[in-house]
Amino acid sequence: MPSLAHFLHILAETKGLFLNALLLTLKLTVVSILIGIVIGLFFALLKISKFKIAGFISDTYVYLVRGTPLIVQIFILYFGLSGIFLLPDFWAASLALALHNGAYIAEIFRGTIQSVDKGQMEAGRSLGMTKALTLRRIILPQAFRRALPPLGNQFIIGLKDSSLAAFISMNELFNVATTLGSNNFDEMTYLLIVAVYYLVLVALMTFVVSRIEKSLAVSDR
């Protein structure tokens, strides 16, 4: 184990490299979650559709994504699709993370949409709205509001999962740590440093999520 003095010295010395990697990690996480929200909402709507084939498609997607490791999904997109067209590292990782997060977000949206009282749909229809318009104007806004806390938790999970992008040589936090550790024969110090960066990011996100949950709890009273 490195001494505290050595750890703090390396932490200060490499802050520029790690801050750049931190920005890439955040960019990767935000892009993948935003795309994942779109994917998740689409498959959630398929799941609650009255058409059985739509529900089957949604169930199959969720099963395949949740039943296979994320690293395998990243490799399939990065190496598999590269035979068809050139897919940059960032988008290979982002799309793989988005598809992975989308399966979990689909279940979040499905649950929150179905948690909205059925009388809301009936009230909208009685006012002359179509089912699609009632869903868009009445059901989905309530579902999104209820989905915010679990979506915040999914963001934290996605942040940690982004470390797997290191396996396709993206210079995010984990890759920078392992590369510097190998080059300087000091792996433990750099692993501890990257752990600190992740802990700080997760702590900040946990704080934001808890504040959202508290504000929603107050507004529900």
Distances (CA, A) of 49 to 10, 58, 67, 118, 129: 55, 10, 23, 14, 18
Residue 77 sits at the vertex; the CA angle it makes with 74 and 82, to the nearest 5 degrees, is 135
Please state the pTM of the whole predicted model.
0.88
* 100-153 pLDDT, tens digit each: 999 999 999 999 888 888 777 777 777 777 777 887 788 888 888 888 888 988
The CATH topology of domain 4-219 is MetI-like fold (1.10.3720)
Q: What is the pLDDT of residue 11?
A: 85
Q: Half-sphere exposure (CA, 13 Å, Cβ side) for 63?
A: 7
Using pLDDT thresholds of 50, 70 and 90, give the confidence band for residue 170.
confident
- Residue 211, burial from CB neighbour count under 10 angstroms (0-12, 13-18, 19+): exposed
User: What does pLDDT average to over the chain?
Assistant: 87
| Residues 27-32, mean pLDDT to the nearest whole number | 94
Q: What is the pLDDT of residue 35?
A: 95
Using pLDDT thresholds of 50, 70 and 90, give the confidence band for residue 82.
low
Q: What is the pLDDT of residue 119?
A: 76
